Chain A
Amino acid sequence: MVCTGCALLCDDIEVGENDCRHACRIGDAHITSTNQIDPMVNRSPVDMDTAIKSAAEILVSAEKLVFVGFGNLVTEAQATGIELAEKVGAEIKTFHTGIFDDILDGRVKTCTLPEVRDYADIIIFLGCDPMNTHPRLLSRYAYYPRGEKRQHGWEEDRTAITIDPRFSHTASICKDSYVIDPHRQIEFMDALMDALLSKVPKTAYDKKRILKLAGTLKKAEFGVIFAGTGAAAPPRDAIIRLMDRLNESSDFRLLSLAPGYNLRSIAEQLRQLHSRPTDDCDVVDSDSNSGGSNGGDGGIDLHKADCILCLGFDLMNSLPAHGINGKLIVIDPNETLTSRYADVVIPCAAGGIDAAGSAVRMDGEPIELPLIRESGRLSDVAILKRLLEVV
């Protein structure tokens, strides 16, 4: 079975009657979760048909309509969601997809997770803490395993380093860590870029340590940066500039550690459909989040939307959602903070658990998601198709 608890899409999960073998804490809880919701309209239980009809009525009457999320939908549901958005004139806002756009546009080099396992000798965790977000990344690919050219694994063949505003759990097991000021991340990145040119950086950070870091990075045979997409990560353009500088003297690849198991797929689909980058809203990204706005780079500000359709996305638990007053429609397998406040709630089967489908792993590998168990719940694809028929 495949776990859809995060974008690693671990495919070695064995689900028994009473246990869930090989899954991490997140995966086990995700697969065995029972916090399901009932269809609701105006916070009162209704039947599915009524909930879908009410959602359709709101969708057709809205003028400033935004669809948010998509990262926790199977690929097929994402495609239907895009179709529905085009039909009702909705804007699509995906979050945390910026680095995927850079990768898909060829602005930075990337690689697959098995290549990380087989070849990576220097691994940087930049503004991310996979021990808390992608718990099996280090054991399956990035640090501990023996790879084709890294037979000695983490003990001798790999050096893992964290650069983060916190001494995280990941930092505690890495060989070196750099704790950076959350307001001075660009200063650190610029200092590192100077050091990579063998210049003494002008910075209040420890210059010797930055020069030492640059020396380590320059020796990489196959370097990989895992970049976070939240507030703890440096701005995207700084990451891209660092990648360019690193690749002047060594060989580095970038992979994005974003929330949601299928974000790469929606980034790919939107890029193919519109031949343009998605309206990326890394809302907690320091350079794209002025004044707590959820508008991202253009498009409808969520505060000004008169209807927001949350697709597998707990909006109110994910963003500073103050003052969002538009109608809220939620399609989600589980009860969320947003579903508690939504005008319409439509429960769906969860991708890879009680709904089969496909997804794209964070490194671009297509993965089939078989059914783990039958539940009788409608899949997100089926719900979106029904909405598509009636709007």
Chain B
Amino acid sequence: MKLEFGEFLAAPECKVVIVACPDVFRTEAGLRHGKFSSEYRELSAVIVLDPTDMAKIEVKDSDLVEVLGEEGVVIVRVKESEKEHPGIGYVPEGAWANVLGAGPASAKVRRSQQGIAAIEDVYHR
């Protein structure tokens, strides 16, 4: 029987500092399609990681990862960076970044089997 991460083995983790960044396409999607749209979610629930950090946690571009921040956890999609920035994860400004805590926030990243949650499920009040 093949053991999968998340069953009996913990998925490998790496530590990153989360930096929230603006994204004009995400801002546009929020205005054009609304902040509850799938377009906005797809552009918000993203983390840009350095290839060396991606190798550490054994993920490739477009895989889903769990980001465990100081104040909360989110599932986001990995985007491979074109520039080197080991130890730093860029997340678009907005609800997903805010769940992790005020930036620059420390966080752990690991592979996830779950999907990206709707914005209503990211925030609870």
Contact = CB atoms under 8 A, between A and B. Distances in A.
Interface stretch (B5-13, B53-61, B89-97, B109-117): B89-97
A316 B103 contact: no
Contacts of B90: 166
Contact of A335 (B20, B35, B120): B35
Given A167-B83, A231-B103, A292-B101, A29 B32 contact: yes
Contact of A35 (B31, B71, B88, B103): B31
Given A166-B85, A321-B98, A335 B24 contact: no
Given A230-B93, A317-B95, A322-B72, A26 B28 contact: yes
Interface residues of B, number: 38
Given A166-B85, A232-B19, A292-B102, A33 B119 contact: no
Interface stretch (A92-100, A128-136, A146-154, A241-249): A128-136
A26 B22 contact: no
B20 A284 contact: yes
A205 interface: no
Contacts of A179: 83, 85
B2 interface: no
Contacts of B36: 335, 340
A166 B21 contact: yes
Nearest to B92: A132
A320 B101 contact: yes
A360 to B, nearest CB: 22
Interface in B24-67: 24-25, 27-29, 31-36
Mostly helix, strand, loop or mixed at chain A's interface? loop
B19 A166 contact: yes
B85 A340 contact: no
Given A165-B104, A284-B103, A340-B120, A29 B31 contact: yes
A284 B27 contact: no
B34 A341 contact: no
A316 B95 contact: yes
Nearest to A177: B83
A316 B94 CA distance: 8
B101 A317 contact: no
Contact of A132 (B24, B120, B125): B24
A188 to B, nearest CB: 14
A52 B22 CA distance: 34
A337 B19 CA distance: 21
A30 B95 CA distance: 19
A26 B27 contact: yes
Contacts of A166: 19, 21, 85, 90
Contacts of A355: none
Contacts of A334: 31, 34
A335 B34 CA distance: 7
A335 B100 CA distance: 23
A232 B18 CA distance: 11
Nearest to B25: A25
B35 A292 contact: no
Interface in A28-50: 28-30, 32-33, 35
A318 B102 CA distance: 10
A168 B35 contact: no
B44 to A, nearest CB: 9
Identify which of B33, B104, B120 gathers the most chain A CB atoms within 10 Å of its CB.
Answer: B104
A159 B23 CA distance: 24
A232 B92 CA distance: 12
Contacts of A340: 36, 120
A274 interface: no
A182 B71 contact: no
Contact of A337 (B17, B29, B119): B119
B123 to A, nearest CB: 6
A283 B102 contact: yes
14 contacts: A29-B27, A29-B31, A29-B32, A30-B31, A33-B31, A33-B32, A182-B88, A231-B104, A232-B20, A314-B35, A324-B125, A337-B119, A340-B36, A340-B120
Given A26-B28, A165-B88, A230-B93, 19 more contacts: A29-B29, A131-B24, A132-B23, A132-B24, A132-B27, A135-B24, A166-B21, A179-B85, A286-B103, A286-B104, A316-B95, A316-B123, A317-B94, A319-B98, A320-B102, A322-B99, A324-B125, A340-B36, A340-B120
Interface of A: 24-26, 28-30, 32-33, 35, 129, 131-133, 135, 165-169, 179, 182-183, 230-232, 283-284, 286, 289, 292, 314, 316-322, 324-325, 334-337, 340-341
